[in-house]
Amino acid sequence: MADHTKTNLVTLTRHVLSDQKKHADATGDLTLLLTSIQLGCKFVATSVRKAGLVHLTGLAGATNVQGEDVKKLDILSNEIFINALRSSGMSAILVSEEDEEAIFIEEGLQGKYCVVFDPLDGSSNIDAGVNVGTIFGIYRVKDEGGRPSLADVLRPGTEMIAAGYAQYGSSCNLVLTVDKTIHGYTLDSTIGEFILTHPDIRIPDRGSIYSVNEGNSMYWDEPCKTYFNSIKFPTQPNTKPYSARYIGSMVADIHRTLLYGGIFAYPGDSKSPKGKLRVLYECFPMAMIMENAGGKASTGHSRMLEYTPTHIHDRSPIFLGSKKDVEDIEALYRAAA
Ligand code: AHM
Ligand code: MG
């Protein structure tokens, strides 16, 4: 028998299509929308890789060595995603970290999905060659055929129908969650396809790595200080302290947490009571991914996905990762309440 494993690749599109076929009422629209997101990720992956060479990391509006106008990578990435999503004909509203206002897609190109995204998260790291990523979440409009409004995106994360991220690093990885399934794909740049490499991702119930910006610890509240002290100075016999890992690029910190376990946190503090991370396109997609991988995501006080954002760039404190690690910090907040 011939070995077909090397020629029978499971691409992201093939995988999503076969999952969608399980739904009798599936139209293929979500698959089409995801195709445009994939295209955006491939385009950004290539641009990130070329950035150092063509000085794409220069100031917006700067000129490269060939005298051509170059755009800063986050602006370029934003345009790439907006163009891909608009032309897919599948989206109704786009919310991007880069745009103050939500973008309402014109009639004629309008579809039934709302996409919230951060086109290039962690971009302040890019000059140092650190991993960056794209984060996205998808809602279905409430009233198909009706007039889309901000109410279609100012909804709890429990109503998101899909979410994911792409990480631009030594390889380009895309993690996607739809219908409680969660799989990881790696871009094979020779054929330009995302190939299924991490089926059914599960996060360990407890980890041994913590990931937080400790430079903010003087501003933390007591439960947060107590929690991080407890994992660094364990009092139980034969218990090792947790290791610290903090890249400062959410996608990279979450990707490691998802694969190895542990906890990632961006707490609120006395300086920034709501923390730094944005609810719609940073906290919710990552929370959905963690939950569907068997982990947890919390504001410290309640389930992250049950929060209702008050505006499109709303922020929230967040603790997410291995179930038991997140439960430990929640217990400390409960005790302090
Ligand atoms: P950005 O969207 O402006 O790139 O900021 C978000 C990034 C996240 O990727 C990361 O988790 C966080 O900011 C790091 O913030 P800090 O430098 O305060 O630790
Ligand atoms: Mg961001």
Under 8 Å between Cβ of 247 and 213: no
Closest-approaching ligand to the CA atom of 134: 2
Interstrand relation of 181-188 and 209-211 (parallel, antiparallel or unpaired): unpaired
Is any ligand 1 atom within 6 A of the Cβ of residue 124?
Answer: yes
Residue 281, pLDDT score: 98
**Ligand 1 atom at minimal distance to the Cα of residue 121:** 4
Under 8 Å between Cβ of 49 and 233: no
For ligand 1, pick from 135, 220, 249 the residue to mutate: most ligand atoms within 8 Å of CB: 249
Instruction: Dump the DSSP string for 72-140.
Output: -HHHHHHHHHHHHHHHHT-EEEEEETT-SSPEEPPTTS--SEEEEEEEEETGGGGGGT--EEEEEEEEE
Residues with CB under 5 A from ligand 2 (ion): 118, 121
Identify the residue whose C-alpha is closest to ligand 1 atom 4: 122
The span from the CA of 118 to the CA of 274, in Å, is 18
CA angle 180, 183, 184 (to 5 degrees): 150
Is any ligand 1 atom within 6 A of the Cβ of residue 250?
Answer: yes
The span from the CA of 35 to the CA of 49, in Å, is 21
Residue 127, pLDDT score: 78
Q: At what angle do helices 12-20 and 29-54 cross, to 10 degrees?
A: 160
Interstrand relation of 113-121 and 91-96 (parallel, antiparallel or unpaired): parallel
Residue 66, pLDDT score: 47
Residue 61, pLDDT score: 55
Is any ligand 1 atom within 6 A of the Cβ of residue 121?
Answer: yes
Helix then strand then coil, % of the chain, to nearest 5: 35, 25, 40
**83 alpha carbon – ligand 1 mean position (Å):** 25
**276 alpha carbon – ligand 2 mean position (Å):** 9
The span from the CA of 16 to the CA of 10, in Å, is 10
The span from the CA of 70 to the CA of 314, in Å, is 31
**Coil, strand or helix at 285:** helix
pLDDT, one tens digit for every residue, the chain (337 residues): 455 556 788 999 888 888 777 776 778 899 999 999 999 999 999 988 887 665 555 555 555 444 445 568 889 999 999 999 999 999 999 999 999 999 999 999 999 999 999 999 998 888 788 899 999 999 999 988 889 999 999 999 999 999 999 999 989 999 999 989 999 999 998 999 999 999 999 999 999 999 999 999 999 999 999 999 999 999 998 899 999 999 999 999 999 999 999 999 999 999 999 999 999 999 999 999 999 999 999 999 999 999 999 999 999 999 999 999 999 999 999 999 9
Question: What are the strands of the beta sheet with 193-198, ordered from one edge?
Answer: 103-104, 91-96, 113-121, 132-140, 162-168, 172-178, 181-188, 193-198
Under 8 Å between Cβ of 118 and 282: yes
Under 8 Å between Cβ of 257 and 207: yes
Residue 187, pLDDT score: 96
Is any ligand 1 atom within 6 A of the Cβ of residue 129?
Answer: no
Is any ligand 1 atom within 6 A of the Cβ of residue 213?
Answer: yes
**Ligand 1 atom at minimal distance to the Cα of residue 248:** 14
**Ligand 1 atom at minimal distance to the Cα of residue 125:** 4
Burial 130-147 (b: 16+ CB within 10 A, else e): ebbbbbbbbbbbeeeeee
